[in-house]
Structure 1
């Protein structure tokens, strides 16, 4: 039996937006009591503040910069500059101090303990909702190996990616997934696309309650919206193809309650946009005395997004003028 410390959940954050996703994912794994290590690969565009928060949530934060590495990845990159983020993701195979890992995209959210995924073999993944003969690369089980890493890079350089991203590369490389071994087909509840809910609503009603991982596929990510913590309402143009509202709210509840306080601490006096309307940022500021607040105003550091927003000042004025 392999030891838990030799196994890890791995994710990737290429910028501060995806870092927010990684923070929520890490918290959701911890809250559901995973016994595995948590690893996040970060790109060079992730800020020091985001990095310091990730260090509080993850056991290992590893900077991967394909552009700077003098290894085979760099050579591959020269030939295929279009696959930059893909090469960064493939770095997960270099985590050879772990015997087995589960990769999860930063736009996933864990709804219950999923440690049983480590009973599966490489390469296990769930079918893609758009083309079920392909697996979706948002959640997959793999075995770190420098040999596999080298072969993947070589494959990339020669064949490229049929969809321009890592999913095309991985499906090309692990091309027998759809036909060979059904135990490598993860049930859809381990990578339930928020878009698929709408395309087959009866199935969602039948099986959705068992979902263990929700994946916010599509252009708009949870962090692209804004959130009103008081009313627990997500705002933004919610169209048909948007994530099932309750999962989106679940993401925001976790982000606003457990991640934003860490971010506010990391940013200190620097401006930081949390995406939360009033609410959270306000709680952090309402502990300020009126004297401290007056000083902030005089130094030109009014909290324009929260307590001192135009709407709030207008409300105050309305009360006085009435």
Structure 2
């Protein structure tokens, strides 16, 4: 009976109102969470847009006066006590000195009590980048380098407030290492710690009289050679790497964009004819270094590119450069052609080929690691490598003001190895040789290999190494590119002839038109531009661009096959007048 009376009892109005208010408040809180907290996928998609560009001066992007924290991780403020790693100090630390001011980066989980006997420990906190911040945000496939819309920009990698610290005698940093995990060398957090250490050395380093700074790095992986050069490594013990870094070189690197998301060198202001002002960038060259710089190309295993190398030398000389022209070649190049290459302007140096251990025997890329010999040219401070299927149209000497690895973009996050700024170094050469069996090249060649070693590179404008291709197969692309190929005075600094090479075609038209899978490389305008350079050469040099009987047969087969397929452009119907056909 009591139970029935309780059920029949009518609840008070105040109680009903309280219950309704509780439910209303609960649903409002739930709705606010769902509305205001975007998903992880949204963060990932827009991570790069939430920060603004800069490396030397880093600030989070402000939006309506509110800091955007979504891709930044605040320093760990947890009071949870962690077990610190007690690690043996490297023995060479005792010879470095005492009474120092030691800046420590990312050493929060290390027991550093014993380091105090060497001086004052200064911890350098910084905001860690989120795992949602990916390498492709810093190294995009394409940027608006012509500034047709808003111009290119880079997302920010957060840096400490360097001005808040005094000068330091030594910097110690623990570098992240996810090896052998796939993509470990393209870890943004790993790059961030490298750059914090490099910037701290430049901005707050107490350099010695040789302008060098003591930097001690803790890492299972080799530190990034793009930032801390192996020539500067003076000691290694276990996972400890001791560098005496040259501040001038380090200062130049940290002054450049944080990735290929922006140009290291915009070659023009508002017009292509405006001369680039070198004073806008950090340049560390002296009259001495000008004598120790060279343009270099490589020939090995075949004489197929001899004509291209002759034409390349002539095109460089036409730009009035005073740098040395150096050709690395092996014994496959015959004496008459060596003489011709020398007359064309090259200084010859003989090399022993380097085999790609992952290449098949007698394949096109069997000896393409011979390009590693470039790093053995230590009588030069800096070289610019240029492939022999390139012609240079404007002076490229300005590139000597930029560090290794400076190049133009290719696909994805990689650079094109057709034109590269290189700093010769025997230890870099030894490192490349040591990693031959370890690294898998995406294309089986030197370009894929080098992109796994030099992952942090500096983007040159595409006009420095303009690729002759038409990937979109659109009339607009063809119009724009052909206008650039034919412009006079030239708007391009060089043209890189992909596909079948001009000297292996009849001069009447680009023979890439005749081969179905090579038509993306076909341009009669670019083809004619190469022949203009050729025609300016001495007659005795032109003779080394003759067609072999085999080449003539292949060209005729291509024309007949194009006719059978009924290719609508009808290049196969063009009457061939090239005198080389009849020699």
TM beyond 0.5: yes
Residue 126 and residue 272 in structure 1: after superposition, are their counterparts in 2 closer, same or farther (change >3 A)? closer
Task: Confirm or deny that 1:250 pairs with 2:529.
Answer: yes
The aligned residue for residue 22 of structure 1 is 309
> How far did 1:161 drift?
1.8
Mapping of 1:282-297 within 5 angstroms? none
Measure, in 1, the Cα distance between the counterparts of 2:533 and 2:548: 17
Mapping of 1:63-212 within 5 angstroms? 63-66=350-353, 77=355, 79-80=357-358, 82=360, 84-128=366-410, 131-177=411-457, 184-196=458-470, 199=473, 200-201=477-478, 204=481, 209=487, 210-212=491-493
Measure, in 2, the Cα distance between the counterparts of 1:172 and 1:62: 28
Residue 259 and residue 236 in structure 1: after superposition, are their counterparts in 2 closer, same or farther (change >3 A)? farther
Measure, in 1, the Cα distance between the counterparts of 2:482 and 2:492: 11
CA displacement, residues 182-235 of structure 1 (integer Å, 9 cap, x when unaligned): xx11110011100048654465378665211110112x11122022xxxxx336
> How far did 1:242 drift?
3.0
Measure, in 2, the Cα distance between the counterparts of 1:4 and 1:243: 38
Residue 164 and residue 59 in structure 1: after superposition, are their counterparts in 2 closer, same or farther (change >3 A)? same
> How far did 1:43 drift?
2.7
Please give the TM-score of this superposition, normalised by the length of structure 2: 0.40
* SS of match in other structure, 2:433: helix
Residue 196 and residue 279 in structure 1: after superposition, are their counterparts in 2 closer, same or farther (change >3 A)? closer
What are the ranges of 5 or more consecutive residues in structure 2 without an aligned counterpart? 1-285, 553-575
**Conserved? CA contact 2:511–2:522, under 8 Å:** no
Number of aligned residue pairs: give it.
257
> How far did 1:141 drift?
0.2
Task: Confirm or deny that 1:46 pairs with 2:333.
Answer: yes
Measure, in 2, the Cα distance between the counterparts of 1:78 and 1:202: 40
Match 1:234 to one of 509, 534, 538: 509
Measure, in 2, the Cα distance between the counterparts of 1:111 and 1:212: 5
Q: Which has the larger radius of gyration?
A: 2
* SS of match in other structure, 1:250: helix
Greater shift, 235-244 or 82-91, is seen at: 235-244
Measure, in 2, the Cα distance between the counterparts of 1:102 and 1:151: 20
Measure, in 1, the Cα distance between the counterparts of 2:327 and 2:366: 17
* SS of match in other structure, 2:333: coil
CA displacement, residues 152-177 of structure 1 (integer Å, 9 cap, x when unaligned): 11122222422100000100000223
Measure, in 2, the Cα distance between the counterparts of 1:3 and 1:243: 40
By percentage of residues, which structure has more helix? 1
Task: Confirm or deny that 1:61 pairs with 2:348.
Answer: yes
* SS of match in other structure, 1:258: coil
Residue 237 and residue 191 in structure 1: after superposition, are their counterparts in 2 closer, same or farther (change >3 A)? closer
Match 1:217 to one of 489, 498, 512: 498
Task: Confirm or deny that 1:4 pairs with 2:283.
Answer: no
Measure, in 2, the Cα distance between the counterparts of 1:243 and 1:109: 16
- RMSD of the TM alignment (CA)? 3.0
Measure, in 2, the Cα distance between the counterparts of 1:244 and 1:141: 28
Mapping of 1:260-299 within 5 angstroms? 260-262=539-541, 264=543, 273=548
CA displacement, residues 21-75 of structure 1 (integer Å, 9 cap, x when unaligned): 1111110000111121101111322121111111112342112222xxxxxx5xx
Measure, in 1, the Cα distance between the counterparts of 2:579 and 2:399: 35
Please give the TM-score of this superposition, normalised by the length of structure 1: 0.70
Measure, in 2, the Cα distance between the counterparts of 1:63 and 1:45: 10
Measure, in 2, the Cα distance between the counterparts of 1:186 and 1:136: 10
**Conserved? CA contact 1:53–1:263, under 8 Å:** no
Residue 47 and residue 243 in structure 1: after superposition, are their counterparts in 2 closer, same or farther (change >3 A)? farther
> How far did 1:80 drift?
4.1
Measure, in 1, the Cα distance between the counterparts of 2:529 and 2:438: 42
Residue 151 and residue 196 in structure 1: after superposition, are their counterparts in 2 closer, same or farther (change >3 A)? farther
* SS of match in other structure, 1:156: coil
Residue 207 and residue 31 in structure 1: after superposition, are their counterparts in 2 closer, same or farther (change >3 A)? closer
CA displacement, residues 245-286 of structure 1 (integer Å, 9 cap, x when unaligned): 22211212322441652364x89xxx98598987777xxxxx
The aligned residue for residue 140 of structure 2 is none
* SS of match in other structure, 1:121: coil
Measure, in 2, the Cα distance between the counterparts of 1:170 and 1:78: 13
The aligned residue for residue 22 of structure 2 is none
